[in-house]
Amino acid sequence: MKTASTFCLLLASLITPSLWPIIGHADGVFAFSPEQATHVRTLAASCAACHGTQGNAMVKEGGNASEENNPVLAGRTRDDLLSKLLSFRDGTRKATIMHQHSRGLSLEEIDMLATHFSMQKRVIRLPLSPQKLEAEHG
């Protein structure tokens, strides 16, 4: 009987969105509540201009991801992203712009963004080569 009720509770918790935050970090499985999911996607859209769609910045062939290109965020570990963002925020990590960005975020938002980008799949995106215009004007 105990097993059956535990199973029902588990099932109910999976289908009840209001319980998602409670089961959030359990056993390494993470799920955002619908409100959190909308919020983190909105925040992540502001990172896309530089870090690419879903954190997949375009990286020049053979280029160094941290110098010539904006850093790729997709698929990095949550701990890595979290520690970088926190150290930008407290000024211990040198930055050209990220110290400003991270100061505009709450600790909860930083936590959600680190989780979000760690869950994105890494996709190699090479920039398109410049278009050659060879129109003939007669």
Name the residues that contact ligand HEC, by CB under 6 A.
43, 46-47, 49-51, 66, 70-71, 73, 81, 84-85, 95-98, 101, 113
- Residue 78: left if φ>0, alpha if ψ -120 to 50, beta else—which one? alpha
Min separation Cβ 37 and ligand HEC, Å: 16
Q: Residue 47 or residue 74: which is nearer to ligand HEC going by CB?
A: 47
Shortest reach from residue 137's CB to ligand HEC, in Å: 39
The rounded Cα 39 to chain-centroid distance in angstroms is: 12
Query: Which residue type, as a one-letter code, is found at position 30?
Result: F
Minimum CB–partner distance for residue 130 and ligand HEC (Å): 22
Q: How far is the CB of 103 from ligand HEC (least distance, A)?
A: 11
User: In this structure, what token pair is assigned to residue 67?
Assistant: 């110098």
Distance CA 94, CA 122 (A): 25
Q: How would you class 121 by CB atoms within 10 Å of its CB: exposed for 0-12, middle for 13-18, buried for 19 or more?
A: exposed
Measured from the CB atom, the residue of 19 and 75 that comes closer to ligand HEC is 75
Q: Which two tokens stand for residue 57?
A: 């910045």
